[in-house]
Amino acid sequence: MLLHLVRRTAILVASLAVSSVVVFGFMVLLPGDPARVALGVNASEEAVGRLRAEFGLDRPLVEQYASWVSGLLRFDLGRSYVSQVEIAPQILHRLQVTLWLVVCAMLVALVIAVPMGTLMAVRHRRPSGFLLSALSQVGVAVPAFLAGILLITVFAVRLGWLPANGWTPPNEDPAQFLRQLVLPVLSLGLVQGAVLTRYVRSSVLDVQREDYIRTARAKGLGPFRALWRHGFRNAAVPVVTVLALQLSTLLIGAVVVERVFVIPGLGSLLLDQVSNRDLVFVQDIVMLLVVAVLLVNFLVDVLYVVIDPRLRAGHS
């Protein structure tokens, strides 16, 4: 158990270090000087030189990297070259908005996927199972931004029940916040739910073939009861893995959905900074997204051991 934890932590730290070098190197190695890019082609050499000195771009690369990483560790990301605003508070503010979307979408996905996937597995040879399976295939094929546009057309344009876009912070007007949250969360959550459903189905199908479920059924438990009592914990391990992998899809999916619904989240911030050509800001946001994905993967690996005691025995 402890060995497993130490090993995983070492992998996490190494991954974080390598990815920070990759992100930093990517932005440094690419053609174009960030100061020149920020000021535009018409800026004088003098102005570019001043900006380079002000932001330490004239220092050796190793020094620049070290100061960037130490800034990341303290979450002090300095100011933007282009807009001169403090980067860290901006990111934190926008991250809250995106987290609302991602967490709610994940809940929606789970609420859809666990019952649907189980039903599909238990009924997999019957027409109802086949129908649900076909439905989930269609769901997987619809990208979240398309789902968003379709939902807007139905619920905002045709029925007029919900606003087509916008964002109100929850502490300002909770009712409006919820109304505006519904469509973006559904467009992210329905699609992820369809993907997750297929994994739940195959995971439950695997578990159903196990001897302990057969024994439970032979003792007289119904198919759902047997699964509930003995199967779900076992089926959960692969599903949790997929759920974690989906987090990165959701975070990135949120970028596009935020654009559809005009939501001021992290994705919109990233896209705005890309069009502002603010490379350092882009670098910080990308790194934050990568850190989030790596951290979640790490937590899931640790969580396995909690879900499945057999792994605990295997590693101790």
Partner 1 sequence: MSAQPAGPIDPTRVAGQPRVRRRPGPSLVVGGSIVAAVVLMALLSFVWTPHDPTLVNAAARLRDVGDPEHWLGTDKFGRDVLSQVLVGARTTLFVGVVAVGVAGLLGVPLGVVAAMAPRWVGETLMRAMDLLLAFPALLLAIMFSAVYGGSTLVAMIAIGIATVPSFARIVRSGALQVLSTEYVLAARAAGRRSWGIGLRHVLPNVSSLVIVQASVAFAIAVLAEAALSFLGYGTPPPTPSWGRMLQESQELLFSAPRLAFVPGLAIAVAVLGFNLLGDGLRDRYDPRLEDRR
Min dist CB 176 to partner 1, Å, is 20
Q: Could you tell me which residues come within 8 angstroms of residue 192 by beta carbon, excluding any fewer than 6 positions away?
A: 105, 106, 108, 109, 144, 246, 249, 250, 253
**By the rule CB under 8 A, 164 interacts with partner 1:** yes
Task: List the beta bridge partners of residue 86.
Answer: 79
Query: Of 15, 64, 168, 176, which one interacts with partner 1 (CB under 8 A)?
Result: 15
Half-sphere exposure in the Cβ direction for 273 (13 Å, CA): 27
**By the rule CB under 8 A, 286 interacts with partner 1:** yes
- Nearer to partner 1 by Cβ, of 210 and 308: the residue is 210
Single-letter amino acid, residue 154: V
The DSSP 8-state label assigned to residue 158 in this structure reads: I
- Nearer to partner 1 by Cβ, of 65 and 169: the residue is 65
- Tokens representing residue 22 in the block: 């990759």
- Tokens representing residue 295 in the block: 């951290």
Half-sphere exposure in the Cβ direction for 104 (13 Å, CA): 18
Collapsing DSSP to helix, strand or coil, 30 comes out as coil
**By the rule CB under 8 A, 4 interacts with partner 1:** no
Min dist CB 146 to partner 1, Å, is 5
Site for partner 1 in 40-99 (CB under 8 A): none
Site for partner 1 in 216-245 (CB under 8 A): 245
- Nearer to partner 1 by Cβ, of 140 and 182: the residue is 140
Min dist CB 119 to partner 1, Å, is 16
Neighbours of 258 (CB within 10 A): 28
**By the rule CB under 8 A, 290 interacts with partner 1:** yes
Which uninterrupted H or E stretch holds 190?
helix 174-208
Q: Which stretch binds partner 1 (CB under 8 A): 62-70, 104-112, 136-144, 302-310?
A: 136-144
- Nearer to partner 1 by Cβ, of 15 and 83: the residue is 15
State how far the alpha carbon of 157 is from the alpha carbons of 35, 88, 264, in Å. 45, 37, 22
What is the rounded CA–CA span in Å between residue 135 and residue 133? 5
| Cβ atoms of 169 and 176 closer than 8 Å | no
**By the rule CB under 8 A, 252 interacts with partner 1:** yes
Q: How many residues does the chain have?
A: 316
Min dist CB 134 to partner 1, Å, is 10
Q: Which stretch binds partner 1 (CB under 8 A): 18-26, 54-62, 180-188, 224-232?
A: 18-26
**By the rule CB under 8 A, 294 interacts with partner 1:** yes
Query: Of 30, 61, 85, 111, which one interacts with partner 1 (CB under 8 A)?
Result: 30
**By the rule CB under 8 A, 289 interacts with partner 1:** yes
Query: Of 263, 282, 288, 305, which one interacts with partner 1 (CB under 8 A)?
Result: 282
| Cβ atoms of 314 and 31 closer than 8 Å | no
Q: Tokens 């996905």, residue? A: 109
Backbone angles phi, psi at 86, to 5 degrees: -70, 130
Q: Which stretch binds partner 1 (CB under 8 A): 47-55, 78-86, 221-229, 270-278?
A: 270-278
Q: What angle do CA 18, 22, 26 make, to 5 degrees?
A: 170
Query: Of 163, 202, 241, 312, which one interacts with partner 1 (CB under 8 A)?
Result: 202
Q: Give the interface with partner 1 as residue ranges (CB under 8 A).
A: 11, 14-15, 18-19, 22, 26-27, 30-32, 124, 137-138, 140-143, 145-146, 149-150, 152-153, 157, 164, 202, 205, 209, 245, 248-249, 252, 255-256, 259-260, 270-271, 273-274, 277, 279, 282, 286, 289-290, 293-294, 297
